[in-house]
């Protein structure tokens, strides 16, 4: 794909959150009655989870912008393909360990090379049989797990913690999770909010200790919120390229990446908010400092924002980027280095000096976030930019390029 540098001026509708949708699907599987989900996400990762639920035994009805899950778990051994969804493989490991069936969770492409961290150790302590490929997929699981107080290092990912929080209330006795070095706390808060809405009971003492009480999950009707992570790309596009308006975002959301609104206001962009609509317009942009400990998905696009700000911007808490679809930190540094962009990387922070840049091409290496980075870079690039593997956006946002064209004014 070749992208021209274009001014930005347009309006789009926000798209549903795959992170929330997958959590709703997981809770639907464990519920005692059907669940209706409005505004479903139908990106690649979400479709992978829907296919898993079908194999497990659920009946799934797909109506106009609505998914209905009729929960059922077949008594049979299964191989389930998580495709490239890290959330799916980490979240469903403890969920499937509730049952005495034998499950094999497989992975494709970049997920095959992503560490599973403490899944094997923790689920073994809970009484499951579990085997991995030296800490990487595939995962072989057989439960059932039983209550056992555990300690979890969640410094690299909160996705396994999400699965534990969803699964442990289904045990007969309460279970305590002591979390060390918790990351992405907004995602954990979001998970607990959804669990509570389904009828689950979890207490937190404020020191990252979670008590999961025996609970029954109930289905019902749920709306899948639209996604702030993907919306951030278009908000930054407006800030550096002209103007962009997005409809359908929830400003009371527990999604951590809604912080992008405050950051854009801080750097000097013109921010207008009305009900569930937000408009960002270009102005003189100043350098910023930002801690990404709870917002790792924002880092790649924030690097583009930094390039378009006057002065030196600093982004902290970036080491977790090494454990994403690819080593995103190494990829960012490679792009900066190859294009002679001034930066400093040390002590878990990245400093980028705002400057003009001229980039010939970006290879996404199959990572959807870098396809979005390439789109943002094209806005003020002085020449057409070639994007290699642009289709990677289908992982989280299959309509991305259609929406990006809507706001281009070439």
Confidence of residue 228 (pLDDT cuts 50, 70, 90): very high
Kindly state whether residues 300 and 333 are assigned to the same domain.
yes
Q: Is the pLDDT of residue 206 over 80?
A: no
C-alpha dihedral (366, 371, 374, 378), degrees to nearest 10: 140
Kindly state whether residues 321 and 380 are assigned to the same domain.
yes
375-381-382 Cα angle (round to 5): 150
Q: The pTM is what?
A: 0.96
Q: Could you identify the residue written with the tokens 């808490």?
A: 317
- Could you give the residue ranges of the DSSP H alpha helices within 198-272? 228-241, 260-267
Contact 217, 23 (CB under 8 A): no
* CA–CA distance, 231 with 246 (Å, rounded to integer): 7
Residue 26: inside a domain: no
pLDDT above 70 covers a percentage of the chain that reads 100
Q: What total of structural domains would you count in the chain?
A: 3
352-356: average pLDDT: 95
- Any idea what the CATH number is for the domain that residue 154 is in? 3.30.110
| Out of 247-251, 252-256, 272-276, 291-295, least confident range | 272-276
Q: Is the pLDDT of residue 377 over 80?
A: yes
Q: What are the distances in angstroms from CA 5 to CA 15, 382, 386, 409?
A: 25, 7, 11, 9
Kindly state whether residues 203 and 284 are assigned to the same domain.
no
> Could you list the residue range(s) of the whole structural domain that residue 171 is in?
147-215
Instruction: Provide the 10 A C-beta neighbour count for residue 355.
Output: 14
Kindly state whether residues 72 and 159 are assigned to the same domain.
no
Instruction: Provide the 10 A C-beta neighbour count for residue 207.
Output: 7
Nearest to 323 by CA among 159, 188, 191: 159
What would the pLDDT profile of 61-90 be if each residue is shown by its tens digit? 998 899 999 999 999 999 999 999 999 999
pLDDT above 90 covers a percentage of the chain that reads 93
* CA–CA distance, 181 with 318 (Å, rounded to integer): 15
pLDDT score, position 385: 96
Q: Is the pLDDT of residue 91 over 80?
A: yes
Residue 20: inside a domain: no
Q: Could you identify the residue written with the tokens 């009971």?
A: 201
């Amino acid at each position: 794909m070749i992208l021209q540098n274009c001014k930005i001026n347009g309006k789009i509708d926000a798209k549903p959150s795959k992170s929330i949708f997958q959590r709703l699907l997981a809770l639907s599987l464990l519920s005692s009655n059907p669940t209706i989900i409005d505004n479903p996400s139908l990106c690649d990762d979400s479709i992978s989870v829907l296919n898993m639920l079908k194999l497990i035994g659920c009946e799934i009805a797909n109506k106009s912008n609505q998914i209905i899950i009729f929960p059922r778990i077949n008594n049979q051994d299964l191989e389930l393909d998580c495709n490239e969804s890290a959330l799916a493989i980490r979240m469903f490991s403890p969920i499937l360990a509730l049952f005495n069936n034998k499950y094999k969770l497989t992975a494709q492409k970049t997920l095959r090379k992503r560490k599973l961290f403490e899944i094997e150790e923790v689920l073994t302590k809970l009484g499951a049989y579990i085997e991995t490929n030296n800490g990487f997929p595939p995962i072989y699981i057989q439960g059932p797990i039983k209550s056992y107080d555990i300690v979890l290092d969640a410094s690299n990912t909160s996705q396994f913690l999400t699965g534990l929080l969803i699964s442990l209330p289904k045990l007969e006795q309460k279970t305590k999770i002591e979390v060390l070095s918790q990351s992405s706390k907004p995602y954990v808060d979001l998970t607990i909010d959804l669990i509570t809405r389904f009828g689950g009971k979890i207490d937190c003492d404020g020191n990252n200790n979670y008590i999961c009480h025996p609970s029954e999950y109930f289905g019902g009707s749920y709306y899948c919120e639209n996604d702030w992570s993907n919306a951030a790309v278009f908000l930054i596009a407006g800030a550096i390229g002209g103007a962009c308006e997005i409809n359908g975002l929830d400003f009371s959301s527990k999604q951590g990446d809604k912080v992008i609104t405050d950051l854009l206001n801080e750097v000097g962009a013109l921010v207008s908010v009305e009900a569930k609509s937000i408009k960002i317009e270009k102005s003189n942009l100043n350098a910023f400092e930002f801690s990404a400990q709870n917002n790792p998905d924002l880092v790649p696009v924030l690097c583009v924002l930094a390039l378009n700000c006057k002065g030196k911007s600093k982004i902290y808490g970036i080491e977790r980027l090494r454990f994403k679809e690819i080593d995103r930190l190494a990829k960012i540094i490679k792009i900066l280095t190859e294009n002679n962009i001034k930066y400093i990387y040390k002590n878990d922070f990245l400093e980028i000096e705002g400057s003009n840049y001229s980039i010939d091409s970006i290879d996404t290496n199959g990572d959807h976030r870098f396809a979005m980075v390439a789109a943002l870079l094209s806005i003020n690039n002085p020449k057409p930019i070639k994007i290699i593997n642009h289709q990677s956006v289908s992982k989280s946002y299959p309509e991305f390029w259609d929406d990006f064209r809507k706001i281009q004014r070439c």
